[in-house]
Amino acid sequence: MLLVLLAIATLIYFYWKIIYPHKYWTRKGVPQSKPVFLFGDIWPMIIRKYSAPELVDEFYKIDQNARYCGVYQFLSPGLILRDPELIKEITVKDFDHFVDRRVFVKENVDPVFGRSLLSLDGEKWRNMRAAVSPVFTSSKMKYMFPSISQCGEDFANYFLKQNKDLLELEMKESITKFTNDVIANTVFGFTCNSLENPNNEFYKMGDEVGNMTSMRTRIVFLMNALAPKILSFFKIYLFSPRIYTFFRQVVNENISSREKHGVTRPDMIDLLVKAKNNSLKNEEADDLPEAGFTTVKDTENGKKSRKYQITDEDIVAQALLFFFAGFDSVAGVISYMCYELAVAQDAQEKLRQEVDETREKCGGKISYEELMKMKYMHMAVSETLRKWPTAIASDRVCVKPYTIQPKLPNEKPLHLKVGDTVNIPIYAIQRDPQYFPEPDRFIPERFSEENKSKIVPYTYMSFGTGPRSCIGYRFALLEMKILMYHLISNFEIVPVAKTQIPIRFNPKAVNMTAEKGFWVGLKRRVKV
């Protein structure tokens, strides 16, 4: 009898802990997926049936008539938001209820990356965001423009020196060297030509930081979702300890040298040190041209932030975050743009005409103002970001009880409790044909002056939305435009035998990486 009772108790416990959680959304009357035992809805990605963006697209299609639907990451429920108006309500209008994102790395586990904007939550995030926001104004982008442009010019000149009519390149590998040089220069104040010297320490560190297919990265991502307490107990950092040692040493020596000798440079370390010393001004009210349609509308981040005293360790954390975000993700988007222009030669020809006209207007030396005035460049960049956004999805965590009021006949009030997670399927929404007809085609004209007003608000979120949108979007756009300007000035981008058309995702990666790389040809232009 005792054994029977023990077996019944075990079954009840088993049901309560493993089966019952997968009915969370059903109990609330929300359409949901068919979760796999224990693994929930991420099983197809684990067995490599779907890549991460393809899985997000599958989630989005669970119920195409619903404003939201439910999924499970292992046993944790998440609400997929499908309705643009609801996305606006949660990320902007009612932001105070959804201030936080899922904390990937906690400060008590990873004392460096855990202090970055990506990892902070609540009051700490508010204060840090307010403290570093002045670093990313348009005036600060102009401040760093010459350094970024020089990196783009060096990139094009390296391939011009090969003296070949046609070069076949895997663009991601080459462009990460450009993004590495930009970050080394504009963030840390170091000059390193990674195409000429690929063994420099910055590039080797960046290659390790940005490797989203490595076994370590995949294990850390998996353990964070499955058993974050194990990561916390064993103090398992996101990156290897030597990476933290390297960046802490670089930043601290840089700060010490500058403060001792009174040196200033047009880079982020200089701006962050000024923020630390409370001498950095927020110069948003300038007359500089803005980024255009892709611009994230800055909104208040909830209640008023307190004055926050930035420390040297905070500077290390933000510098490492910029390196992590800028090395791989920006290089990926630029690589996709090279692929798109290689396939869509008509779009490339329009961009080439604008580049040539701008170069002539500038006398061969591009300026920040003239780059920002290039309308077709911005249209092409915006369309690239629509098809290949920097983030596949975004999330918000409910920090105060919230009710989604019913708007459709089959809905009832949906009560979210503290800790519930909502997910914004950016990749899927930007590929939805009801918002973007022929979504798989590369059509920069979607973002022309005549057409951009037709885009439904909150269906284009390549840099996120609301107060927790990407703080570095201006920097990313500037990098993209600068490199494409210098490339198109000197080369035609053409398909080659190795070009995968259409491009497919690598199911082994946790981000949006091409299965067979980004192979294109650079055909040297004959300038008249």
The annotation places the binding site for heme at: 470
Instruction: Using the predicted structure, report yes or no on whether residue 320 has a pLDDT greater than 90.
Output: no
Confidence of residue 288 (pLDDT cuts 50, 70, 90): low
Report pLDDT for 285.
44
Task: Pick out the residues of the known binding site.
Answer: 470
**Residue 101 is encoded by which pair of tokens?**
């994102």
Q: What is the 3-state secondary structure (H, E, C) of 125-193?
A: HHHHHHHHHHHHCHHHHHHHHHHHHHHHHHHHHHHHCCCCCEEEEEHHHHHHHHHHHHHHHHCCCCCCC
Cα–Cα dist 146/182, whole Å = 11
Alpha helices in 447-472 (DSSP H): none
Shortest CA distance to 397 belongs to which of 57, 67, 116, 120? 120
Strands 76-81 and 421-424 come out as parallel
Q: Residue 421 — pLDDT band, cuts 50, 70, 90?
A: very high
Return the pLDDT at 162.
Answer: 93
Lowest mean pLDDT among 80-89, 196-205, 264-273, 514-523: 264-273
Closest Cα to residue 20, out of 8, 11, 29, 31? 11
Annotate 278-310 with DSSP letters as a single string. Answer: T------S-------TT-------SSPPPP---
User: In this structure, which amino acid lies at residue 116?
Assistant: S
Calculate mean pLDDT across residues 261-280: 76
- Average pLDDT of the residues in 35-50: 86
CA proximity to 480, closest of 53, 144, 148: 148
528 pLDDT above the threshold of 60: no
Pick the more confident residue, 103 or 471. Answer: 471
Could you give the CA distance from residue 83 to residue 87 in angstroms, rounded to a whole number? 6
How far is residue 42's CA from residue 21's CA, in Å, rounded to a whole number? 15
Domain regions of the chain by residue span: 1-284+306-524
Q: Of all helices (H) and strands (E), which one includes residue 81? A: strand 76-81
Quote the Cα angle for 414-419-423, to 5°.
Answer: 65
Distance CA(74)–CA(22), nearest Å, equals: 9
**Quick check: 118 pLDDT over 80?**
yes
Is the per-residue pLDDT at 247 higher than 70? yes
- 1-284+306-524 in CATH: which number? 1.10.630.10
307 burial via Cβ count (<10 Å: 0-12, 13-18, 19+): exposed
Answer whether 476's CB lies under 8 Å from 312's CB.
no
Q: Which of 12-16, 126-130, 399-403 has the highest mean pLDDT?
A: 399-403
DSSP assigned state of 226: H
78: pLDDT strictly greater than 80: yes
**Is 392 in contact with 512 (CB distance < 8 Å)?**
yes
Rounded average pLDDT over 327-333: 89
pLDDT at 15: 55
Q: What is the distance, to the nearest Å, from the Cα of residue 361 to the centroid of all Cα atoms in its chain?
A: 33
> What's the pLDDT tens digit per position in 162-219?
989 999 999 999 999 999 999 988 888 888 889 999 989 888 887 777 665 566 666 6
